[in-house]
Structure 1
């Protein structure tokens, strides 16, 4: 059981499930439409959507979670898992490299907001004809590296060799020339310098994925964004091994993406770009790996990176997921928070925990 939802700027917007799987662009059984109507077919999929538990089933799950939570991990060990969290994830990626998770090709079905509006409309138009998709669609059939080359040529012809120095929203190309010629406009010149001083400064639409892992979201997103001029993708993880896997991937390209190591729990650690420049922040199975006491501060800090009207897209583990019920005694850190055998941690959410209090912006 997963929760898939959205924060809009500083406020969480309650998603409308019925509208999420009406797109023509979807697999045969997309998330959101796997409705179990025949109990005899329960094993046809590994998950079902909108399952309503009976009171008996819910009580059984609660009892099982209570049972596996009776024996808590020792406090000194809990401190160790907190202090060395990045080490455990580094070991995870050292062991599994990029073979553990599959690419998240469901992203645009569940989160079409990742894409700029014009790109969403373009894909929607392309998908109306299956023949058109097969012959001309840029996603997912077109050669990936070819899309990079096409995008680079666009930037080169329009903005010159260095795509990262393209001017952004505050001063466009013509404004930049006039600022250079006008020595009195120091304020705009200083602003211009700031725009050129960080990766992706020339983009008009920017996405950040927090907890990028080995790139299972990064590369499906890049398949689309790299052929969409004016867009840029940032991705970070606090496991340096994961970031190295992303950077060493044959499809990684610094003209469209910037991967960096970052601990979102460290409020004092600066991001490699200014606040209020992101259109979308994506967190997929990320908050669950953070201590519950720290989640609020993490969300508050991330919210400051969003433009007005920007969105934080969130998917994570739901309370009483089968993986929670399978934990043995001695793995519980605190209520609904567990440590796996490899030292990585996981928290299980409820919907009540996700929706913001309108009177307190940024609060869960």
Structure 2
């Protein structure tokens, strides 16, 4: 169920290597600091230099940009999705994801080779030769662009990677890939918000060390969030981690939506029928904080520029790490 990975899932810039005295920042609780992640190292200090590069990291979000974003959202609210169409999109979401993956084959997507920079704990604790038995569950595995890079870097003979997706076609693409290795990988259909209590095939309660959610949670309707969190709580071992990356409020993709696309506040339907939500840090803290320890939440705000056309485009992503309490 990984949404539109080829068009919106851009490669993050490498994290800055911090001096020893700065690394203690990572141990400060979320409420005591504003910058839990450090995304990239290209800062726009001189506005006249904005066209010198294609992208700038950690850009400032000023009052003018905030007002413009709110103006666009207000216009979207004037003409939301019709009641008939909303019922259609909300009742058959799997149909649209199957169509998406039928229309976009595996070569449409790019492998997430940046995973070691963004989520190093996977490689430190699960893929080393001496890591021991470890289980990784990727929810919304799409075409395998997360699980296959992890598998390629794996040295652990006792690692198992489960890839699950809402779309039957996505699972077929993963199983048909030359990189799919049944010794280490399993792919199956599973709905993160399944209310029946069914778990992914091959998994039992409290058996997973890592759950990966990359551009997946945004595809759920807000009314499904609580069930999804409960299902992850049942799957994770005490001390297990949820690694999260998704769309942030006022991201360029949100502001580009025209009339007739708004389902609910911050929740939209794309032209292909797939759905997407745009989060705030506060929402993530509330959603995941009910069951898990919120170790980190950060906003990756980036300015992309089209130097030829002199256009500025703001991308906003949220990243988080949530831990299941040991007690």
- 2-side partners of 1:348 and 1:94: how far apart? 25
1:63 to 71, 81, 84: 71
- Deviation string for 1:16-49 (max 9, x for gaps)? 897856xxxxxxxxx4334322334435665543
CA contact (8 A) 1:357 1:363 kept: no
- Deviation string for 1:236-279 (max 9, x for gaps)? 00101001000100010110000001111212133221011111
Q: Does 1:233 align with 2:161?
A: yes
Matches within 5 A, 1:17-166: 31-43=39-51, 47-117=55-125, 119=127
Distance 1:119 1:14, change over 3 A: farther
CA contact (8 A) 2:193 2:231 kept: no
The structure with more helix, counted as a fraction of residues: 1
- 1-side partners of 2:283 and 2:129: how far apart? 33
Q: Does 1:262 align with 2:190?
A: yes
Q: Does 1:297 align with 2:305?
A: no
Q: Which runs of 5+ in 1 are unaligned?
A: 5-12, 22-30, 123-202
Q: Does 1:355 align with 2:285?
A: yes
Q: Which runs of 5+ in 2 are unaligned?
A: 1-7, 13-28, 295-327
Distance 1:94 1:357, change over 3 A: closer
Residues matched between the structures, number: 266
CA contact (8 A) 1:356 1:362 kept: no
> Who is 1:191 aligned against?
none
Distance 1:228 1:274, change over 3 A: same
Any idea what SS the aligned residue of 2:193 has?
coil
> Who is 2:136 aligned against?
207
Per-residue deviation, 1:363: 10
Per-residue deviation, 1:74: 1.5
Any idea what SS the aligned residue of 2:106 has?
coil
CA contact (8 A) 2:126 2:159 kept: no
CA contact (8 A) 1:69 1:331 kept: no
Distance 1:63 1:20, change over 3 A: closer
Q: Which structure has the bigger radius of gyration?
A: 1
CA contact (8 A) 1:233 1:257 kept: yes
Any idea what SS the aligned residue of 2:65 has?
helix
Per-residue deviation, 1:121: 10
Q: CA RMSD in A?
A: 3.0
- TM-score normalised by the chain length of structure 2: 0.73
- 2-side partners of 1:317 and 1:292: how far apart? 14
- 2-side partners of 1:346 and 1:46: how far apart? 26
CA contact (8 A) 1:208 1:234 kept: yes
Any idea what SS the aligned residue of 1:212 has?
coil
2:258 to 305, 328, 333: 328
Per-residue deviation, 1:99: 2.9
Higher mean displacement: 37-46 or 66-75: 37-46
> Who is 1:250 aligned against?
178
- Deviation string for 1:51-71 (max 9, x for gaps)? 221112111111112212221
Distance 1:326 1:118, change over 3 A: closer
